[in-house]
Amino acid sequence: MAKRRTKTRTVYRSSPRRAAAPIVIRTSSAPVKHKKRRRSGGGSIGGESLTSKENMALATGALALGFIDRQGMKIPTVPVLGRAGTIAVGGILLGKQLHLPIATKIGKAALVIALYQLGKEGKVSGVDGIDTM
C-alpha cells in the first residue's frame, strides 16, 4: 500500500500583532552595610569559665593525686622526676594507651603540681629522700 500525501494548511489570523514590551533597565542599589555585633564572653577570663569541663577534670585529677598521696601508696619513683612527676608521666601514658581521659587528667594535674614544687622548692617531692608532697 502506498503512502498518501497530506496537505499542510496554514491559517492566518486577522488580529493585529501585540506590541513589544518596553525595555526596562534596572540598576541595583548600594548594598546595605550592617554593624557586626560582638557577644560578650559572660565575664570569664579568656572565654573559659571556671566550671568548664577541662577545669573540672583537672580539679578531679588533682583531687585523685592528693588521695593517692594521702593513702601512702608505695609508688616507685623515677629519681629525677620524684613521686608527682612519676604519677604525671604514668597517668599521661596510661591515659593515651588505654584511652582513659581521667588518667590523662590526673597526669596533667600531677605535672602541674610537680612543676609548682620544682619552681618553689627547687626539687620535687620524692627526690633526695624528701617524701612529703
Distance separating the N- and C-terminal Cα atoms of the chain: 114
Enter the DSSP assignment of 100: -
Query: Do the Cβ atoms of 29 and 73 come closer than 8 Å?
Result: no
Tell me what pLDDT residue 46 has: 59
DSSP 12-35: ---SPPPPPPPP----PPPPPPPP
Note whether 83 and 133 are within 8 A (CB): yes
What confidence tens digit (pLDDT) does each residue in 110-128 have? 888 888 888 888 877 766 5
Residue range 19-26: mean pLDDT, rounded: 84
Average pLDDT on 23-44 reads 74
Q: Do residues 25 and 32 touch, judged by C-beta distance below 8 A? A: no
Answer for the pair 84, 125: CB distance below 8 angstroms, yes or no. yes
Q: Lowest-confidence range among 25-39, 80-94, 119-133?
A: 119-133
Q: Break the chain into its structural domains and give their ranges.
A: 51-121
Grid coordinates representing 116 are 609548682
Confidence (pLDDT) at 124: 75
